[in-house]
Amino acid sequence: MSGTINPPIAIRAVPSPSVQRLPVYLRFLKEQRDRGETVVSCTRIAEEFGQLSVQVRKDLSITGIIGRPKVGYKISELIDAIEDFLGWNTKMSACLVGAGSLGSAILGYEGFAELGLDIQCCFDTDPKKIGSQIHGRPVYDFREMGKIAQQHRFEIGILTVPASAAQAVANTLIGTGVRAFWNYTPTRLDLPAGILCEEVKLSASFALLSSRMKSGPTLVENDF
Amino acid sequence: MSGTINPPIAIRAVPSPSVQRLPVYLRFLKEQRDRGETVVSCTRIAEEFGQLSVQVRKDLSITGIIGRPKVGYKISELIDAIEDFLGWNTKMSACLVGAGSLGSAILGYEGFAELGLDIQCCFDTDPKKIGSQIHGRPVYDFREMGKIAQQHRFEIGILTVPASAAQAVANTLIGTGVRAFWNYTPTRLDLPAGILCEEVKLSASFALLSSRMKSGPTLVENDF
DNA sequence: ACAGTATCGGGATTTTTTTATCGATAATGA
DNA sequence: TCATTATCGATAAAAAAATCCCGATACTGT
């Protein structure tokens, strides 16, 4: 096989927008399933969300699901396919750092369990919180984070600390084997290759809203 | 002037991705200003965020700012231009509905004041909360929402209620003159034309993270 | 059995967004 | 003064995403 050139394989990258729409469909599908429905078409889903059926079909296709013409998809299969694609059917262990009001809110949202996210504990510097529980999760001393994280081998770190602390926290957690961050601070982290980070930018979301409010109500469309 | 055709004006729509990046730049610019800097170039900003300078320049250009070759932009002007474009230099009055843990977290985040968002009060059904204050904002009885909102004439409604209540809350608030929603519930609202809604989809953000974790660390790039 | 139809899947087209290129401008330094 | 350089702004090209189109398939009703 010598002489072969680097494979010109068309590695079709999965489009991010599609991935981000999957959870929306997933929620709807589970609703339908719980109502006793067994099949659903792209047309039906698209109608629900004011989209085009083609886009829904393309989005779903990235999971590898195959449907049947004139019928649609089997709901149970489709749910499995999406959860499988997103990795939501296997638990990922996580710790949360910074048990302020935002941190507490995240700990209190039961919905995350559905995403396979298993937040096992949190860390904080506040002596009044250390030793207590927040929404059922123990609060540990921030100074022990390195040690405890080493033992637990968390896969994900959820950052809800003040912006100024974010980088240091990330560095420590990377040392313990954490390989992905869900970053709620407005800080761009400097990370080694292979470490993932997804930033939650609420101000970006609000920017879209407020800039559209400025342009006046007549010109604006409501997007997906 | 009779006989003229409908103007073939190329109404260049403002790209959403650009709008969403503006808050990131804004934060950096304020930092620089507070350090005493007076000018900044796209090259510098791009370097800070691991982007291309061309993209930064394009993003900034939507605000109408003009810079000087070999120098860059005057920071104070640029900050003004961005805030102006986003509408963040005029206060928008808002109310929050649903003072659970997420609602409280939002009320507790001082950063929103910088976005021109003025959350004046919140509404809840919990008798233990009604009459109290959360992070300095009064909690009113949910049953009085219509009446109180009518008086205050809120522009924005922040929805942190259970998903099942979202549509009804929205309907009531629309009746009182609210024209935009910042929707933290996983519900697609059915809204009349002219009413805006921006959804905060944390599960979409997590979907991106977890799906990339699944694909293995080697293939993945860290995006902006 | 067969026509009619809703839906899927793949490929083509269009639109949007990102990235590259280039001439013009203003500062710097010889 | 004049060449050099960093930067801007505009335009062009490329890449990504959304939308359109069409043949194939499987159900429905006659």
- Residues B139-152: pLDDT tens digits? 999 999 999 999 99
pLDDT in tens, B167-177: 999 999 999 99
| Predicted local confidence at residue B216, as pLDDT | 59
pLDDT band at A13 (very low <50, low <70, confident <90, very high): confident
User: Which of B116, B117, B203 has the CB atom closest to A23's CB atom?
Assistant: B203
A86, A92, A179: residue with CB nearest B217: A179
Q: How far is the CA of B192 from the C1' of D29 (A)?
A: 40
pLDDT value at position B136? 97
Residue B59 makes CB contacts below 8 A (sequence gap 6+) with: B18, B21, B22, B25
Give the pLDDT confidence score for residue A5 in this predicted structure: 35
CB contact under 8 A, B210 and A19: no
- Residue B86: both structure tokens together: 């986003």
Q: Residue A205: its chain B contacts at CB < 8 A? A: 20, 182, 198-200
Q: What is the pLDDT of residue B87?
A: 97
pLDDT under 50: residue ranges of chain B? 1-10, 217-224
pLDDT at A46: 98
Torsion angle, CA of B93/B99/B101/B106, rounded to 10 degrees? Answer: 0
Amino acid identity of B127? P
Which of A72, A69, A26 shows the shortest CA–CA distance to A49?
A: A26
Top residue of A90, A134, A203, A223 to mutate, by most chain B CBs within 10 Å, is A203
Q: What are phi and psi of B7, to 5 degrees?
A: -55, 125
Closest nt to A13 (CA→C1')? D16
For A217, list phi and psi in degrees, rounded to 5.
Answer: -75, -25
Q: Which residue of B has its CA nearest to A199?
A: B205
- What's the pTM value of the predicted model, to 2 decimals? 0.92
Shortest distance between the Cα of A104 and any Cα of chain B, in A, equals: 7
